[in-house]
Structure 1
Amino acid sequence: MSRIAKRLEKERVVHANDLLEEAGLLDACPYRYVFVKGTYKQWAELFSAVELLEGRGWEIVDWTIDATNEAGAVARRVP
């Protein structure tokens, strides 16, 4: 199992960059909610990852944005 898959399984966290590199990363995800993590300097990657997820049946239910460094979104698989 890859480190990305282990992190997803253990923490329900996926990095925006990982989603952009592997679009189907969450296709087999057993969870309904995951956290998509980025940084303040990676706005474009985070927004692109969110748009990718929305096109694959996920919706964003919450944002976490800290102007110092962290940014992310809680995504929910649409039933």
Structure 2
Amino acid sequence: MSQATPTSQSQNVQTVTIEREMNEYGALTVHVDGQNATRHIVEYASDELKTILRQLPSGSSVPLTIEPIGTRGNAWRATSLTQ
């Protein structure tokens, strides 16, 4: 199975608010601030990024670079925290 290579156009820096803290499977549910959108973060560019996001409580807002995974569903990969 081939996997699409992300392009800079598919990456998306957004301020998100954590709705549900990361679960035991590594999934994190966030709300995109200023939009009526929810994202399910299920992959992380690094273990360090995953650890940082795991420590954040519900209600925390962070600027996060995310990209969609695949062509279906609402699964996203977090690639970096931005300033």
Greater gyration radius:
2
- The structure carrying a bigger strand percent of its residues is 2
Tell which has more relative contact order, 1 or 2 (C-alpha 8 A, sep 6+). 2
- The structure carrying a bigger helix percent of its residues is 1
Is TM (by shorter chain) over 0.5? no
TM-score range, shorter chain: under 0.3
Per the normalisation by structure 1, the TM-score is 0.27
